Structure 1
Amino acid sequence: MAHYTKHPVAAPPTAPERESTGHLLLRGYIILVLFAAFAHSAVYNLLGEIGAAIALAAFLVATLAIGIPMIARGRPHAFAWRRLPWAATGYTVLALVSVAWSQWRGATLITWVLLAGVTVNALFIVHVLTWHEIVRALASAFKWILGLSLAVELWVALVVHEPILPNFFVRPEGEIDAHWYWVRGNLFDGGRIQGIVGNSNLLAIISLFALLTFGILFAARARWRTTLALWALLAAYFILRAGSATAYACAAAAGLVLVVALLMRRAPTPGARTRLYVVFLGGGALVAGLVWLLREPLFALVGRSADLTGRSDKIWTKVLERAAEHPVFGNGFSSPWVPFDPAFKGWITDHHITVFHAHNMWLDVLMQLGALGVVLMALAYLGLLWRSWFFAVDRPRWDLDADRSYSPLTLLPSLFTVVLLVQGLTESTPIMLWGWMLLVLLSFKIKAVPLVGVGERERVIERGERSRRVP
């Protein structure tokens, strides 16, 4: 009969190390930061301009108060100064320096503080969380946005029975432009829904990010996979109900990149990869040409005009005219455009609302920071695209072992990057707020920790490798 010996061949099993309460609170705070970044329009609609500014300032102060002591003491590890995303850092510095020649100095200073705050929070998240924790935090933030979006749509449709304006004001007497509403209450009448973010296009893109995140976690065999599948179904439903042509294009691009990355992982030799590159790059160029030639019927199919709903003649023409005035260094940084600044107030309007960005990230950068800004932004995104691609398709290796398994998590940065680049053709979100946060966060994390679950800066809690350094 088997019995416990006094001379075991191995140490008795012990429970894995649990997360400290402080680290759990830190993760909860970061989820709140991510929620405020992605659902910034909800914060704006709820608190107004001043309230939203105070909220963003509070998050910046809190992050600095938490992060500076941690970095000074080397917790949870030394800050990777040499791995900073230098192109994005250079763009941030150029944005601040542009106040010297800015045509709208007040707007430059206001929006640069916003850019700096988002940058600081992104660097802080990379420093304190592992790859696994970052993906989980993103998933939690997306769940809150999707859940609250469903709740507010149900509340407006079933209880209020009227569209609501910002600050939960019910529709006033008389006619009002539908674009002023926060939530229109279209959940059961077949119209486009806005969710808590108050914008169909924004809801669709966030839902796409959520769908990709949930899918990656599902493939990584995370806990509660059935719940993840239900969240993914809700995200897919929101994408369909939001009816955003940009989101459909981003989803198609992300799907194509996912297929190519998985085929690259299965390629047995470098020659096989080369053939795949030739086939897909050539096929991609052919598809892009066909889309351009057939743009009118394709846009009509999704209910859009060939000029992208007035972007080319109403917005882009005026932006290019202003960019031509200062083509090298630009007119001065302002992302987003400050609607109450005289330079932007009433300059370009849509449905009697002042437009606050160029609806194309490259034209926006060209107008603000000129050709120099475009070069820095291109370097930032090309660097991220390059690193994220090989982060996804190369087998993890740091010694002679070349047969380690791929991690599904390594696919997420390249999918996010492609979505941002495609969205940037018709929106300027990838250069501000959560778009900028993702650029800085992913660029810095891939440079600092190029392997998931390996290295000093990627101590995974599940393996009990949290820092035990004595203060």
Structure 2
Amino acid sequence: MQREEIDAPAGRAQGRSVLPGLAVWAFFLTFSGQGIRNVVGWTPFGIIAAISGIALYAAFRLEGHRIVWRALPTAICAYCLWCVASIAWTQFPNETLLASALMVATTAAGILLACALSLRQLTVALGRSLEATIALSLALEAYVALFLKHPLIPLYMRGWESVPISYFWSEDRLLQGGPIQGIVGNRNPLAFIALLALICVVVRWRDRQISRSHLVVWSSLSVLTLALTRSATVTVAAVICAILAVVLWWLRHVPREQRYQAILRTAAACLLIGLMALLFRQDLAMLLNRSSDLSGRAIIWERVIDLWKQHSILGWGWVMYWQPWLPVFQTLVVRPDGTPTMSAHNAYLEALFQTGIVGFVLILAVVLLLLARTGRLALRYLDSAPSVLLPLLVSAALAIQALTESRLLSEGNWMVACAIGTWLGLHRLTVKEAERAIRTRIGEDPRQ
């Protein structure tokens, strides 16, 4: 297969397209939505998101694109439908109805983008949106540190009598070396955004899409943001992604007939390293300057599991983020500033708690299928198309972050997973059609 077959979308309208620009906005809106909410509030943000979704769908239809239903990722679509189905048994009817609508919209956005844009276009759109987030985040932190000189609260909270520390937009820690929170108001999502931006810029440079100066500037800013956020989970994810990239680079220099054995040896070594990390997890936590209970997450997980046992098969009902006004969450795990915790801080446990064993199995299938299929594709095109490394590295980062954060199941992380899953399906169909065409030509050639 050639590079063009990897990069081609399902069908593209001729002429100038607005979808690449809308894709940048869609990724920015879903990854950096909290920054917009901190400015305008929740209701105006909902209106902005709804208008953006309508604009994306309208552009998709007007430019002549189509959804290739056979290419849709089965596990991802099944989990989305399962979340919607939980309306029938949920303990939180109103919240589940709203969360289900958001899940459908986010899933649809990822599918539409994958059906309309090539892999290169998706990479460019994702990269530009993340770069914008990093630039705005560093600018915000610099403004707070140099001019405001005290913590900044979300603008829509200015009328509140008091604002809890965990709701601060920026804690004014840039000059202290961090951790900074950026426009997203949280260091862990900002760190993950920086990691994805670093992956995008390196892959685009290897694919000769950007200049060396672009690589130097944005990789430097991404690494700086990673350092200033001090996120242990994302640090681990960055190390694993770096190791994965090095292994893939090494495999390119291994003769084809020896690669299978090299892959087996590498997999065995990775398994051994993983087991050692599990055995020495307390030492690893100390090395990363974290407590052995992962900054209190162990307590959250224990209480979430206790709740899950009450509705083990179907779960409590899909709510996405934990709404603080719901009694079950108000006192489940209270943070030092008196506010309730907003998530399970583990996407797999979150799925188990909200959507039961069925949802847990589906999410596990989503992650494993993404890793398996992107890994197989990366190995298949190892010698010809650097751009195909992006789905694997991003999928690996998503899977690792999901161990300590629930964001895989919502907003930007979920939209990226949907886009990658759909693109994989489209690529599979493209390959099958190419192989069928080759067989047809051979069959029609009387000399064969």
Residues 105 and 52 (structure 1), Cα distance of their counterparts in 2 relative to 1, 3 Å cut? same
Q: What is the match of residue 334 of structure 2?
A: 349
**Which residue, out of 320, 327, 348, partners 2:312?**
327
User: How many Å apart are 1:276 and its aligned residue?
Assistant: 2.0
CA distance in 2, matches of 1:228, 1:451: 33
| One-letter identity of the residue aligned with 1:39 | S
Please say if 1:238 is aligned against 2:222.
no
**Aligned residue runs from structure 1 range 109-124, under 5 A:** 109-124=97-112
Aligned equivalents of 2:224 and 2:156: distance in 1?
Answer: 25
Contact 1:407 1:452 in 2 (8 A): no
Q: Which residue of 2 aligns with 1:305?
A: 291
- Distance across 2 between alignment mates of 1:258 and 1:171: 49
Q: What is the one-letter code of the residue matched to 1:31?
A: V
1:402-433, CA deviations, whole angstroms, 9 ceiling, x for partnerless residues? Answer: xxx51110001010011111111111111111
Residues 67 and 112, structure 2, Cα contact 8 Å, conserved in 1:
no
Q: How does 1:175-254 map to 2 (within 5 A)?
A: 177-254=164-241
TM value normalised by structure 2 = 0.88
Deviating beyond 6 angstroms after TM superposition, the runs of 4 or more aligned structure 1 residues are: 168-174, 451-456
Mapped to 2, the partners of 1:350 and 1:248 lie a distance apart of 24
Match of 1:383 among 352, 357, 369: 369
Partner of 2:174, secondary structure, is coil
Where in structure 2 are the equivalents of 1:6-85 lying within 5 Å?
Answer: 22-23=16-17, 25-70=18-63, 75-76=64-65, 78-85=66-73
- The residue type equivalent to 1:142 in the other structure is L
The root-mean-square deviation of aligned C-alpha atoms, in Å, is 2.5
Unmatched segments (≥5 aa) in structure 2:
1-12, 435-448
Name the CA distance, whole Å, in 2 between partners of 1:172 and 1:375.
42
* Equivalenced residues, count: 421
> How much identity, in percent, do the aligned residues show?
29
Amino acid at match of 2:281: R
Partner AA of 2:180 in structure 1? I
Q: Is the 8 A contact 2:164 2:339 kept in 1?
A: no
Of residues 419, 423, 429 in structure 2, which corresponds to 1:445? 423
Quick one: distance in 1 between partners of 2:428 and 2:191? Answer: 30
Shift of 1:39: 0.4
Larger deviation, residues 327-336 vs 413-422: 327-336
Q: 8 Å contact 2:391–2:420 — kept in the other structure? A: yes
1:113 shift after superposition: 1.0
Alignment match, 2:8 = none
Q: Determine the C-alpha separation between the residues in 2 that align with 1:261 and 1:121.
A: 31
Cα distance in 2 for residues equivalent to 1:320 and 1:151: 40
Alpha-carbon separation, structure 2, partners of 1:325 and 1:355: 20
Residue 20 of structure 1 and its aligned partner are, at CA, apart by: 7.8
Match of 1:340 among 319, 325, 330: 325
Q: CA deviation at 1:158?
A: 1.4
- Sort the Cα spacing of 1:189 and 1:169 in 2 relative to 1 into closer, same or farther, 3 A: farther
Q: In structure 2, what is the equivalent of residue 263 of structure 1?
A: 250
Maintained 8 Å contact 2:19/2:60: no
Q: Does the Cα contact within 8 Å between 1:60 and 1:120 map onto a contact in 2?
A: no
Letter in 2 for 1:159: F
Q: Does 1:94 align with 2:63?
A: no
* Structure-2 change in CA distance of 1:22 and 1:274 (3 Å): closer
Structure 1 counterpart of 2:306, one-letter code:
E
Quick one: distance in 2 between partners of 1:248 and 1:38? 19
Shift in alpha-carbon separation, 1:277–1:320, aligned structure 2, 3 A? same
Larger Rg: 1
Cα separation, partners in 2 of 1:181 and 1:332, compared to 1, 3 Å: same
Deviations 1:446-467 (A, max 9, x none): 21025999999xxxxxxxxxxx
1:69 Cα deviation after fit: 4.4
Q: Which amino acid aligns with 1:333?
A: W
Distance 1:129 1:148, change over 3 A: same
Please list the CA deviations of residues 119-148 of structure 1 after superposition, one character each: whole Å capped at 9, or x if unmatched.
Answer: 111111112211111111111101111111
Could you say which residue in structure 2 is the equivalent of 1:363? 349
Range 379-388 or range 332-341, more displaced: 332-341
Select the structure that is richer in helix.
2
Residue by residue over 1:52-76, the C-alpha shift from the partner in whole angstroms, topping out at 9 and shown as x without a partner, is 2222222222223333444xxxx24
Q: Provide the secondary structure at the position in 2 that maps to 1:334.
A: coil
Distance 1:147-1:452 versus aligned 2 partners, 3 A rule: farther
Amino acid across the alignment from 1:427: E
Given the alignment of the two structures, is residue 413 of structure 1 paired with residue 394 of structure 2, yes or no? no
Q: Is the 8 A contact 1:131 1:452 kept in 2?
A: no
In the alignment, residue 300 of structure 1 is paired with which amino acid? Answer: M
By how many angstroms is 1:349 displaced?
A: 2.3
Q: How far 1:21 moved relative to its partner?
A: 7.5
Relative distance call for 1:121 and 1:65 in structure 2 (3 A) is same
Q: Of 266, 283, 287, which aligns to 2:273?
A: 287
SS class of match (2:190):
helix
Instruction: For structure 1, list consecutive stretches of 5 or more residues without a partner in the other structure.
Output: 1-18, 397-404, 457-471
Mapped to 1, the partners of 2:91 and 2:274 lie a distance apart of 37
Deviates more, 1:411-420 or 1:256-265: 256-265
Instruction: Please tell me whether the aligned partners of residues 71 and 429 of structure 2 are also in contact (alpha carbons under 8 angstroms).
Output: no
Aligned-residue offset at 1:177 = 4.9
TM-score normalized with structure 1 length = 0.84
